[in-house]
């Protein structure tokens, strides 16, 4: 778990610009969470290093993934540590490229999800 926390804390904060389509939120939750939609109405920790615009985008992405009315909560303790201490139902541990998210380690007793921050427009070329 300490290694995963170190990876989460080391994930860089991206610039949310034209590359937004490639960004995902790495979400870690307890084993009882089978899908992102299971987090509807729950509190999810997010590190205070993220801007309000990033948090707004995460909230929108969570709703698009079926988790309506989530509360994103900043705190003095890191998001992953708040999850470990069972203060919250889940934690956003990084806003990164999809390839960086793929390298996030699997955690024993936790589930990891990737929540796309934007979907490609049908008119946009790959």
Choose between 120 and 114: higher pLDDT.
114
Is residue 67 classed as helix, strand or coil in its secondary structure?
coil
Q: Which position has the higher pLDDT, 13 or 25? A: 25
In 32-101, DSSP assigns E strands to 43-46, 71-73, 90-97
Do residues 91 and 4 make contact, with C-beta atoms less than 8 angstroms apart?
no
Confidence grade of residue 102 (pLDDT, cut at 50, 70, 90):
confident
Domains defined along the chain, listed by start: 2-116 (3.40.190.10)
Question: Considering the chain, what is the average pLDDT of its residues?
Answer: 82
Q: What is the pLDDT of residues 41-80, one digit of tens each?
A: 999 999 998 989 899 999 999 999 999 999 999 988 999 9
Confidence (pTM):
0.79
């Amino acid at each position: 778990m300490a290694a995963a926390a170190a990876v989460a804390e080391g994930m860089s904060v991206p610039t949310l610009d034209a590359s937004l389509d490639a960004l995902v939120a790495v979400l870690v939750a307890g084993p009882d969470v089978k899908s992102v939609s299971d987090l509807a109405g729950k509190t999810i920790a997010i590190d205070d290093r993220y801007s309000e615009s990033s948090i707004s985008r995460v909230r929108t992405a969570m709703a698009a993934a079926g988790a309506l009315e989530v509360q994103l909560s900043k705190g003095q303790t890191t998001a992953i540590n708040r999850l470990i201490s069972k203060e919250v139902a889940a934690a956003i541990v990084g806003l990164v490229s999809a390839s960086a998210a793929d390298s996030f380690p699997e955690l024993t007793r936790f589930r990891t999800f990737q929540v796309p921050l934007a979907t490609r427009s049908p008119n946009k070329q790959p």
